[in-house]
Structure 1
Amino acid sequence: MVKKETRLKSLSQGRPKIVQSPRAISSKATRTLIRSHHTLEKQKAAAIAKGDEVKAASIARLIEAQGGIKSYQRASLLGQTSERGGDSSKILLEWLEPVLPALKEQAKKTRIRMLEVGALSTTNACSRSKLFEMERIDLNSQEAGIKQQDFMERPSPEDQKDKFDIISLSLVLNYVPDATGKGDMLIRTLKFLKIQERPKGLAECLPSLFLVLPAPCVMNSRYMDETKLEAIMKSLGYALVKKKLSNKLAYSLWRMESDVVKKTATFKKAEIRSGKDRNNFSIVLR
């Protein structure tokens, strides 16, 4: 029997906020701290969703004993530095390089709008390129130029001018505490992307969703692999444009093919791989 997933009303119980001025710690210690903190936060969120205040308080004490949110924040910021694998938006710009002339020409007329969910910085590669009209949001903004907002609570666009050409979900989906919430987030991206006439070349890659996940989410999960991820995205009306797998991260760019949202297929939390060393990353579409 599959255990019923618990859901959270807000993403604010998932991805912790980020602060600046991280102290230097080793990459191994960074990974260990992030994994441990992430696991405990998921357990605490599940306890909160079930109304188990005693268990939630107990887990909160364990988190504090490991240094609390500040230690996690330092590790998160170090993971974004160039020496640790850094700015994922560089990959997006590399993929868009063949259409840069068209992008630059388009930018003279109407800026290409990008929504960066879970933004950590206003100076990443896409921001510095000056090709895009950037809108950055994060659950707990720590920098001017990043709006403090939960994507799942962001008002739906009223018309085309409020929509975007690109949405970036870089290391965001994996922070959503439950599998159904992950599916809901992917479904919601469809409301924010705009379909319109585009110059030759741009129509092949826009509008699009730039998705970055930790590599183990698709390479070592009991419930997810590249084939299933592509099937999920296809059911939502996305077509794969580019993908890249590194030792740490799985990058992918998905073009939304229509502004008419398809009736999605049902994807449940079904085991694909067995083994005690697998993680439990999963996406559920109802």
Structure 2
Amino acid sequence: MAVKKRAKTLAHGRPPVAKHAKQMNSKQTQNIISTHHRLEKEKAAAIKKGDQTAADALTEAIEKNGGLPTYQAASKLGQSKVRGGDSSKVLVEWLQEEGILKTKPLDESSNSPLRLLEVGALSTKNEISRHPKQMQVTRIDLNSQEPGIEQQDFMERPLPTAPEDRFDILSLSLVLNYVPDPVGRGEMLKRLAQFLQKPDHYDEKETKLPSLFFVLPLPCVKNSRYMNEKLLLRIMENLGFAVLHKKSSTKLCYYLFRLARKGNKAKTEKRIVNDGVTRNNFSIIVK
């Protein structure tokens, strides 16, 4: 008998918070993260095949690896400033290059701060927080880890109804890869533009706004059967985004997009773009 599959939610994909994280070195955190991903992938395959015995065994193996709380602790530690993993450093660097953030302190007569929505926030003390006069940050996460981060599912956040409810910049760093299915990822990407100011809200000289900061694990675009950078950028272009900056590290790929126009409602199906037995199955489906 096949295992009955329940509908997956965004919360299903994002692990809960470890309340008391133990100190781990970089080798330990990487081992926990990679093992957890491998076991979850094998468990999903077992459920798809209807093999409940294998699925139960893999659930037990996941718990022996520390379970979801330990995985979340390892992920947070791996992204900490101590480990050099604060992705908002790249965002600040690019915003300064574009003249959106000023490098010199502002006086009291300066313009009102820009509004930024950080989805999947891990900390209130990241690099972007060091510019309070220039940037008013709203932080949300499925599992708030500290005061100042609102516990909220982005997919359930009410849509803005007025310009003052929208944002100048949206940060989506290591969030899309937690969405448990390709269609859900597409729905999240389609929702982004609705939270950003419309391009005509700005003066012509401010053409770099509104902006989207977007970060994914590098294997999502470099080692997937169903995704590469060319396809990712085409999806974003179809949604109305134009790339301003992009770069890769050994583990992550970073993008800064500008919302330039309305999307064209083009669909993206799942198809093989890089075949091979060592490839992963990350994909995005836009309906």
- TM-score norm. by structure 2 comes to 0.86
Amino acid at match of 1:96: L
Quote the Cα distance in structure 2 between the aligned partners of 1:114 and 1:51. Answer: 44
- Residue 15 (structure 1) aligns with: 14
- Residue 151 (structure 1) aligns with: 154
After superposition, give the CA deviation of every residue in 1:222-263 in whole Å (9 maximum; x if it has no partner).
1111111110000001000100111111000111112x4x23
After superposition, give the CA deviation of every residue in 1:95-145 in whole Å (9 maximum; x if it has no partner).
111313499699933321100000000011111111211110000102000
Contact 2:9 2:180 in 1 (8 A): no
> Pick from 105, 112, 115: which aligns with 1:113?
115
Contact 2:16 2:69 in 1 (8 A): no
Mark the CA change 1:186 to 1:214 in structure 2 (over 3 Å): closer, same or farther: same
Shift in Å, 1:40: 4.0
Quote the Cα distance in structure 1 between the aligned partners of 2:51 and 2:12. Answer: 15
> Which aligned pairs between 1:164-175 and structure 2 lie closer than 5 A?
164-175=167-178
Q: Does 1:129 align with 2:128?
A: no
> Pick from 244, 250, 253: which aligns with 1:247?
250
Larger CA deviation: 61-70 vs 246-255: 61-70
| Corresponding residue SS for 1:108 | coil
After superposition, give the CA deviation of every residue in 1:251-282 in whole Å (9 maximum; x if it has no partner).
00111112x4x232221111111221111111
Q: Does 1:90 align with 2:92?
A: no
Amino acid at match of 2:286: L
Q: Does 1:183 align with 2:183?
A: no
RMSD: 2.9
Contact 2:18 2:70 in 1 (8 A): no
Contact 1:10 1:150 in 2 (8 A): no
Q: Does 1:33 align with 2:36?
A: no
Quote the Cα distance in structure 1 between the aligned partners of 2:179 and 2:60. Answer: 22
- Structure 2: which 5+ runs fail to align? none
Higher relative contact order (CA 8 A, sep 6+): 1
Contact 1:117 1:170 in 2 (8 A): yes
Q: How many residues align?
A: 278
Quote the Cα distance in structure 2 between the aligned partners of 1:138 and 1:175. Answer: 12
Mark the CA change 1:179 to 1:206 in structure 2 (over 3 Å): closer, same or farther: same
Quote the Cα distance in structure 1 between the aligned partners of 2:152 and 2:50. Answer: 25
Q: How high is the sequence identity, in percent, across the aligned residues?
A: 50
- Residue 257 (structure 1) aligns with: 260
Quote the Cα distance in structure 1 between the aligned partners of 2:227 and 2:76. Answer: 27
Shift in Å, 1:20: 5.4
Shift in Å, 1:45: 6.9
Contact 1:115 1:136 in 2 (8 A): yes
Contact 1:223 1:270 in 2 (8 A): yes
- TM-score norm. by structure 1 comes to 0.87
Q: Does 1:230 align with 2:233?
A: yes
Shift in Å, 1:202: 2.9
- Structure 1: which 5+ runs fail to align? 1-5
Mark the CA change 1:84 to 1:279 in structure 2 (over 3 Å): closer, same or farther: farther
- Residue 268 (structure 2) aligns with: 267
Amino acid at match of 1:19: A
| Corresponding residue SS for 2:220 | helix
